[in-house]
Amino acid sequence: MRTLVTGAAGQLGLGVSRVFRNEGEVVALSHTQLDICDHEAVLEAAREVRPDTIVNCAAYNDVDGAESDPFSAMQVNGIGVRSLAAAAREIDAAFVHYSTDFVFDGTADRPYSESGSPGPQGVYATSKLLGEWFARGAPRHYVFRVESLFGGGAETIESDTKPLGSTLDRMVDALLAGRPVRGFTDRIVSPSYVPDVADATRQLVVCRAAVGLYHCVNTGSATWFEVARAAAIRLKCEPLVFPITVSEVQMPAARPGFCALSNSKIISAGVTMPTWEDALDRYLSTRCPD
């Protein structure tokens, strides 16, 4: 199987490229190698590589920045996805695209299922929902909503050398350096370990599972404060973690308060999604092998 991965220099792109190499050839293209907003370049790359699967890991992820630069967010998260879906349709390839929990308004009291009604609260969230719709332009499409990713590791792809890290990665960096961290007590998430997300993606594509929308997150949910505290306990530095609420921090874009996702559908498709606590243990063992 030949796989084309876009946005391959990012945290998720690196993880996806690793696991798909177990299935065959992977052509991993960073942003400098392929700008998905360039429609003709996307079509040309697809025609040249002729992949069986296109996995899009390219994304505009600056939640707050999108409020002042909506054009860039819509271009990358929406229009670029439309070009990739069109390319996949033309060469009869499966198309994988990643979305986010931010498409929900965060007012639920139980984990959102795939049938839940979206209610994006900002530009970033709206652009990601637009991308979900455009991804359906490929007959064989898989849209995976992921959330609070962590643990993608660090590598270098040509000129795209840059530090990788998500919220949890940065928290662990701070804890290991002896610096205090703050965790929201009023934001509930389903943390997702990049290797688990990448392997779940591979499994569904390889077994040709039913196309459509899946929530691809580790099992369970917790507040950011609880996640940070769990990491600190394992690292033996619990006193460094302090609670905070969203109202105490000024942010241009709204954050959904309750955004835990149900992964029942992807588990029913035959994929094992470990708990976030198990994933955190495995991640921390890579950060502190001793």
Active site residue 124: yes
Question: What is the pLDDT averaged over residues 18-39?
Answer: 96
In this predicted structure, the answer to whether residue 54 has a pLDDT above a threshold of 50 is: yes
pLDDT digits (tens, 9 = 90+) for 64-78: 999 999 999 999 999
Give the residue from 225, 212, 261 showing the smallest Cα distance to 113.
261
pLDDT (0 to 100) of residue 166: 86
Full residue range of the structural domain in which residue 81 is found = 3-156+191-218+261-273
The answer to the question of residue 8 being in a domain is: yes
pLDDT (0 to 100) of residue 288: 82
Mean pLDDT of the chain: 93
The answer to the question of residue 278 being in a domain is: no
pLDDT (0 to 100) of residue 162: 46
In this predicted structure, the answer to whether residue 84 has a pLDDT above a threshold of 80 is: yes
The answer to the question of residue 251 being in a domain is: no
Specify the number of domains making up the chain.
1
What letter would DSSP give residue 7? S
d(Cα 188, Cα 224) in Å, to the nearest integer? Answer: 7
Instruction: State residue 250 phi and psi, 5-degree precision.
Output: -85, 120
The answer to the question of residue 49 being in a domain is: yes
pLDDT digits (tens, 9 = 90+) for 201-236: 999 999 999 999 999 999 999 999 999 999 999 999
3-class DSSP state for residue 179? coil
pLDDT (0 to 100) of residue 180: 96
Q: How many CB atoms lie within 10 A of CB 82?
A: 19
In this predicted structure, the answer to whether residue 106 has a pLDDT above a threshold of 80 is: yes
The answer to the question of residue 223 being in a domain is: no
Higher-confidence position of 167 and 214 = 214
The answer to the question of residue 14 being in a domain is: yes
Give the residue from 1, 15, 114, 101 showing the smallest Cα distance to 57.
15
In this predicted structure, the answer to whether residue 155 has a pLDDT above a threshold of 60 is: no
pLDDT digits (tens, 9 = 90+) for 240-276: 999 999 999 989 998 999 999 999 999 999 999 999 9
Categorize the per-residue pLDDT at 164 as very low, low, confident or very high, splitting at 50, 70 and 90. low
The answer to the question of residue 100 being in a domain is: yes
pLDDT (0 to 100) of residue 159: 39
Task: Catalytic residue, from 60, 112, 124, 283: name it.
Answer: 124
Domain CATH code at residue 75? 3.40.50.720
Give the rounded percent of residues in the chain with a pLDDT score beyond 90: 90
The answer to the question of residue 53 being in a domain is: yes
